[in-house]
Structure 1
Amino acid sequence: MTTTILDKKQIAHKIKRIAFQIYETNVDEKEVVIAGIVSNGFTLAKMIKKEVEKISPIKVLLCEVVIDKKNPIRQIETSLKKEEYQNKSLILVDDVLHSGTTLIYGVKHFLDVPLKQFKTAVLVDRNHKKYPIKADFKGISLSTSLSENVSVIFEKNNYSAILE
């Protein structure tokens, strides 16, 4: 049995709210980096970028972050060179914060470079963290059992977050 947690309209509202929070946190910045973890995190990052640019004068640099979710200690690849995000405000984005493994390894990767500010954003925070990581910006917090799974689906013109 699946339950819809967020429908397309609700996801759009959450993205808009996250964009406003990013703007408020970076109101004095001319440019920020939004780094999305492949694949849904990057899709979400693109949506957030569009909203931030709609509501603010901030220029958003988009960065794709490739992490092997099954083996996160492997080399992490990014579409931007370190010099391109160094000394900037960076927001690391993923769709769902499950155990925190993917996010913590993503954070670790970016800590090799001096940043002005570092925040994290997720659409769904499951509250089952294995690592001491939190989402600074989140669409929804959800207490689930470990046997339940949360999936975010980004299909053309149809988005949803479901509990399975």
Structure 2
Amino acid sequence: MDKNLILNRLEINHKTARIAYQIYETFDENDEIILAGIHSNGFILAQMISSYLSKIMNCKITLCEVFIDKKNPLNTIKTSLEKTEYANKNIVLIDDVLNSGSTLIYGVKHFLEVPLKKFKTAVLVDRNHKKYPVKVDFKGISLSTSSKEHVQVIFEEDNCYAYLE
């Protein structure tokens, strides 16, 4: 399959900054926010969002890495923070691509096992082709795709981009 560029580095930076501003507008009255990035690309995106947020938001920003087996999301989900560290806090669950919705929905389920102040979700690319009824609160781009197409986001040390294959 051919690779079709969806987002280049500059566009990803703009989308990430916009997501950060949307998070700021939603949580501007709060003193702490937890950005929970799904392992690998979701966590990298959470780090990028955190970098933008730290420039515009005057609150404590905590990063949390979420480990979900994407092939079998019913397996135990682990996080880099203990449940007591995010209980009664504001959380944004972040992933790079909303594909079928299973990873995000099981991630949401995990965090809802404890009381939270406010809970939102964010993705860089929303495929609009989901198996589960999941809607994200903050998204970089919506993309209508066929079930045979795959969106890939690449985060390299000196470059990042997203393409459709």
Instruction: Give the TM-score, by structure 2 length.
Output: 0.98
CA distance in 1, matches of 2:121, 2:61: 15
In 2, Cα distance between equivalents of 1:11 and 1:55: 18
- The one-letter code sitting in structure 1 at the alignment partner of 2:131 is K
User: What are the equivalent positions in structure 2 for 1:51-66 lying under 5 Å apart?
Assistant: 51-66=52-67
Provide the residue aligned with 2:21 in structure 1: 20
What whole-Å deviation, never above 9, does each CA across 1:58-91 have from its counterpart, x for those lacking one? 2111000000000100000000011111111100
Residue of structure 2 equivalent to 1:146: 147
Structure 1 residue 36, shift from structure 2 partner: 0.3
CA distance in 2, matches of 1:58, 1:50: 13
Please provide the CA RMSD for this pair: 0.5
TM-superposed CA distance for 1:56, in Å, is 1.2
Runs of 4+ in 1 over 6 A off after TM superposition: none
In 1, distance between residues paired with 2:152 and 2:48? 17
Match for residue 89 of structure 1?
90
In the alignment, the residues of structure 2 paired with residue 37 and residue 53 of structure 1 have an alpha-carbon distance, to the nearest angstrom, of 20
What is the distance in 1 between the residues matched to 2:127 and 2:116? Answer: 27
DSSP-derived class of the 1:10 partner: helix
- State the one-letter code of the partner of 1:59: K
Between the two proteins, the alignment pairs up a number of residues equal to: 164
Structure-to-structure mapping, 1:1-164, within 5 angstroms: 1-164=2-165
User: Structure 1 vs Structure 2: percent identity of aligned residues?
Assistant: 63
The Cα offsets for residues 29-80 of structure 1, whole Å up to 9 and x where unpaired, read as 0110000001100000010011111111021110000000001000000000
- Distance in 2 between the 1:50 and 1:143 partners? 29
Whichever residue aligns with residue 84 of structure 2, its letter is E
Is the Cα contact below 8 Å between 1:52 and 1:58 reproduced in 2? no
Gaps of 5+ in 2: none
Q: CA deviation at 1:108?
A: 0.4
Give the Cα separation in 1 of the matches to 2:97 and 2:42: 8
Distance 2:161 2:73 in 1: 26
Mapped partners of 1:155, 1:37: distance in 2: 17
